[in-house]
Amino acid sequence: MKKLFFTVALLAMAVSASAAVKVATLHPILADLARQVGGDHVDVIEILRPGGDVHHFEPAAKDIGAMRGAALLLASGKGLESFLDKLRDSIGESVKLVEVGRGVPSIMLDPSQEVFACCPAHAKGGIDPHWWHSADAMGRAARIIADEFSAVDPGNADAYKANAKAAARNFDELKSWAKKQISQIPRSDRKLVTAHAAFGYFCKEYGFKSVPVLGIGRSDDVSPQYVMQAINVIRENKIRAVFPEDQANPKVLEEITRSTGAVVGKALVADGTSLAAHTFETMLRHNVECIVEALRPQE
């Protein structure tokens, strides 16, 4: 009987030692990064899944219930999730809320571009919350997540740190690839025209000037004033291509191209939640390929 009890106790200890740490995430890119760093030692619960809208998401009761079952909740931070203060009270003290972006250097929005911020909460304070467009920021985020995992699960700390280093190396390689592709674009043409100011970190990392314009976002009814402003900005900056959002008004795009001669590039992934591109690598590759295709000299 004692032998049986001892065997059962050992099995229970083994199961306990191998139990995965439950980690909830509020962004698909964070979910992917958590899996890269955590490997088999974590069980990732995606609260905001691919296809979701980071700018209008509010956690429902079922989401809060799922978060309560986690040891950690990873958020982007930098004001992206305006509901975090309220969420802290809802999930309780047993779940540690980690704003990963808090450990990443911030880029401030140009005051003249605050009208192009994705929502009023993000314009407040002038912080650009889209830090996941930077390979350097992603490498730093991997280390932050590894530290948080290690604090919860110290027995696997070495694995987390090794995985974070591997992820950072991969991000460095992707950055080198992106720079090589972008080198095909003359420096004078490295102007990124988008619907809102979401690409500041990308522009800083790869030497682009960010030129957000109104009129190429998701809207069926665009003011003629905005269209005229967009046309003037494109002309003044000698823009060769514009990159609209999905579902941009086709009539507006047609008017812009007819009036300026600029081509309409493929829609870029701004928020990292696209069904086709919701990891850092797939998002970066998609965006770089679209930008290079539109801006490199045509043979």
The mean pLDDT value for 259-272 works out to 92
Whether 184-295 and 2-176 are alike in CATH topology: the answer is yes
Over residues 39-67, mean pLDDT: 94
Name the band, by pLDDT with cuts 50, 70 and 90, for residue 63: very high
Which tens digits make up the pLDDT trace of 179-230? 999 999 999 999 998 877 889 999 999 999 988 887 666 665 577 888 888 8
Positive or negative, the CA dihedral 268, 271, 275, 279 is positive
Q: What whole-number percentage of the chain has pLDDT above 70?
A: 84
- Residue 114 in this model has a pLDDT that exceeds 90: no
- How confident is the model over 75-94, as a mean pLDDT? 93
Are the C-beta atoms of residues 267 and 245 closer than 8 Å to each other? Answer: yes
Stronger pLDDT, 225 or 119, i.e. the higher one:
225
Q: What is the pLDDT of residue 147?
A: 99
Give the pLDDT score at 149. Answer: 99
> Would you state the CATH architecture of domain 184-295?
3-Layer(aba) Sandwich (3.40)
Residue 16: pLDDT above 50?
no
pLDDT tier at 25, thresholds 50, 70, 90: very high
Provide the residue count of the chain: 299
Confidence of residue 141 (pLDDT cuts 50, 70, 90): very high
Residue 249 has pLDDT above 80, yes or no: no
**Would you state the pLDDT for residue 13?**
47
- Per-residue pLDDT tens over the stretch 87-104: 999 998 999 999 999 999
Q: Which pLDDT value is given to residue 120?
A: 52
CB 145 within 8 A of CB 74: yes
The answer to whether residue 115 scores a pLDDT higher than 90 is: no
Which tops the pLDDT comparison, 124 or 98? 98
Domain boundaries, the chain: 2-176, 184-295
Pairing status of strand 127-128 against strand 107-108: antiparallel
Per-residue pLDDT, 116: 45
The pLDDT of residue 125 is: 54
Query: CA nearest 56: which of 118, 99, 107, 131?
Result: 118
Give dist(CA 123, CA 55) in Å, integer.
12
The arithmetic mean of pLDDT across residues 239-263, rounded, is 84
Q: What percent of the chain has pLDDT over 90?
A: 67
pLDDT value for 194: 87
Instruction: Note the CATH architecture for domain 2-176.
Output: 3-Layer(aba) Sandwich (3.40)
Average pLDDT rounded to a whole number, residues 93-118 = 80
Q: For residues 142 and 171, give the distance between their C-alpha atoms in angstroms, rounded to a whole number.
A: 10
Please say if the pLDDT value at position 128 is more than 50.
yes
Query: Per-residue pLDDT averaged across 40-50, rounded?
Result: 97
Distance CA 267, CA 247 (A): 9
DSSP-derived secondary structure for 145-202? HHHHHHHH-GGGHHHHHHHHHHHHHHHHHHHHHHHHHHTTS-GGG-EE--SSS--HHH
- Sorting pLDDT into bands at 50, 70 and 90, what band is 112? low
Strand partners, 239: none
Q: Looking at per-residue confidence, does 238 or 149 come out higher?
A: 149
